[in-house]
Chains A and B, each alone.
Chain A
Amino acid sequence: MAAQSTIEQPERTAPAGATASATRRPGGAGAGLLRFARNTWRPAAVLAAILVVWWLVTAADLVKPYLVPSPGTTLDVVLAQPGYFAHHTWITTYETVLGFAIAIVVGVLSAVVMVYSPTVEKSLYPLLLFAQVIPKIAIAPLFIVWLGFGLSPKVVVAVLMAFFPIVISTVTGMKSIDPEMLQLSATMGAGPAQTFRKIRFPAALPHLFAGLKVAATMAVTGAVVGEFVGANEGLGYVILQANGNLDTPTLFAGLIIMSLLGVLLFVVVELLEYLVLPWQASRRTDATTTTL
């Protein structure tokens, strides 16, 4: 994302005239947050409902406690060893975020090269596809052999999982630009660098963000898969250990924390999208009002 500081940012200031547009497209980060909050309460309510059902099922003794622990027991497990869970969560978060960040940099850069050079695209695409279809769980042991038990093999698996959607979405985004827009740029005397910075890249951002959202969840999976194969810390390790000991409360706690981590990363990306692409967000609200 470091490269993005030089990329132009859309204007975030509210319309100065506060004319007709003000009602339709509230500008500014504050308004963006507000809209974001308004859109998130529904999924939050669904989550709460699921929690309630879970609690009811266990409270009514519909299943054996050693198969499905109650929400209370699960919470107790976490509260009993907060340091333990914090440590392993931190490890997995670290691997995920690092893997995600590397995937963004490598993914966007390869996409740019592929868009500007058809030769590179043709030779790289099969390789990319190959890297995508090969089951990560099958090659993860290889990375352990190569890179040892440390964090790096997990990061590599996370990168491998997150990389593909980012490349595909960025390439699609940069190719979806209206050819007339590029011709217009030529009549303005713009060079390739200017055209990229002011037209091609910003135009690809909505696609890129779609890819980032998929990639964010993939990165979590990647890190945990890496941990499954060989680790002595991280949530994958916690889950594996708990499974071996038939310790379902810890297992559940690990699973829930892992899912929360994925959701949190997704939400962060979505939040970024709201802030970076205000025009896109406004279009979305327009669409919902018309379908209602």
Chain B
Amino acid sequence: MTVGNTTTQRSADATATGAAVEIDQVAVRFRTKKKDVTALRDVSVRIEPGEFVAIVGASGCGKSTLLKLVSGLLRPSSGQVRLHGEDVRGPRRDIGYVFQRAALLDWRTARRNILLQAEMRGMPRAQARQRVDELIAMTGLTGFEDAYPNELSGGMQQRVALCRALLHRPPVLLMDEPFGALDALTREQMNVELRRIWRETGTTVLLVTHSIAEAVYLANRVIVMTPRPGTVAEVIDVDLPVERDYGQTMSAPEFARATGRIRDLLGATTTAE
């Protein structure tokens, strides 16, 4: 009875506020022995359900910190973070997290690495197995289910990490430079796949990346951050069609406009790259 009430209330709240992720006037300060570091200051972002938002910015500007705030792995020094209208207080289970390094367990095969998510959450076995099969097929890992991480290429490892993050159908997917370690070609393939997966699942995605092209190809909006202490410099709306062919998108005038604008904002540091 009470449970039913809270859920209806929550969904009412969610529709009232509407946002999947709300970051409100957030600042993060790290206190270390030597000095205090302000990683983020005055960050306010609002992300609607189903959006694909990319975050770009110089190294050390607080992008990873931002994702950790949303997942509840880190508490803001001031300000508020809300996920589906709820205040984020501790680590959140209703997200999927993909780290820069795949962070796979060496002793588990690809399939069992993905299943870790289900085991930790106590999901019914049969249901989890079926979902793993779906995800493996979706990410093109078929034939490598029983390989150990050290037998997989970097791209495959990232796919496994992605499957693991998607297993429980999280409403919000957080990705921290997931393709940073991949070669350019594999990276493009993964971009196309991620875009397709996002469209199939309808998940809200927050993607941190160093690649401006990746950000613009994948996202509906790109958050450009200033160097440390990081804050939002500008939010770029990417006015590209929902159906994005990789080659065509690269040569679209809108693509050139968006990447150009981001490059200008990021300044000399990234133009030199």
**Residues of chain A whose beta carbon lies under 8 Å from any beta carbon of chain B:** 10-11, 15-17, 19-21, 24-25, 178, 180-181, 183-190, 194, 198-199, 202-203, 205, 277, 279-280, 282-283, 286
Contacts and interface: CB of A to CB of B under 8 A. Distances in A.
B145 interface: yes
A19 B112 CA distance: 17
A202 B106 CA distance: 9
Nearest to A9: B107
Contact of B107 (A25, A180, A187, A279): A279
Contact of A187 (B71, B101, B106, B108): B71
Interface stretch (B12-20, B26-34, B116-124, B202-210): B116-124
Given A17-B145, A21-B151, A187 B109 contact: no
Given A11-B112, A19-B143, A19-B144, A184 B103 contact: yes
Interface string B159-196: 00000000000000000000000000000000000000
A17 B107 CA distance: 18
A282 B120 contact: no
Decide if the interface of chain B is mainly helix, strand, loop or mixed: loop
B63 to A, nearest CB: 15
Given A19-B147, A21-B147, A198-B120, 17 more contacts: A10-B108, A11-B109, A15-B146, A15-B147, A21-B146, A21-B151, A180-B99, A181-B103, A183-B68, A184-B103, A186-B91, A187-B95, A188-B116, A194-B119, A199-B105, A203-B105, A279-B150
A189 B150 contact: no
For the residues of A in contact with B, the DSSP-based class is helix
27 contacts: A10-B107, A11-B108, A11-B109, A15-B109, A15-B147, A17-B144, A19-B143, A21-B144, A21-B151, A180-B101, A181-B105, A183-B73, A184-B103, A186-B73, A187-B73, A187-B92, A187-B96, A190-B120, A198-B105, A202-B107, A205-B107, A277-B107, A280-B106, A282-B148, A282-B151, A283-B150, A286-B150
B93 interface: yes
Contacts of A184: 97, 99, 103
Contacts of A10: 107-108
A272 to B, nearest CB: 15
B193 to A, nearest CB: 21
Given A184-B97, A199-B105, A21 B116 contact: no
Interface of B: 68, 71, 73, 91-93, 95-97, 99, 101, 103, 105-109, 112, 116-117, 119-121, 143-148, 150-151
Contacts of A187: 71, 73, 91-93, 95-97
Contacts of A180: 99, 101, 103
B116 A25 contact: no
Contact of B150 (A19, A183, A282): A282
Given A11-B112, A279-B107, A183 B97 contact: yes
Nearest to A15: B146
A21 B92 CA distance: 36
A11 B146 CA distance: 10
Q: Which of B93, B103, B121 has the most CB of A within 10 A?
A: B103
A17 B142 CA distance: 10
Listed residue (A183, A184, A283) with the most chain B CB atoms within 10 angstroms of its CB: A184
A18 to B, nearest CB: 9
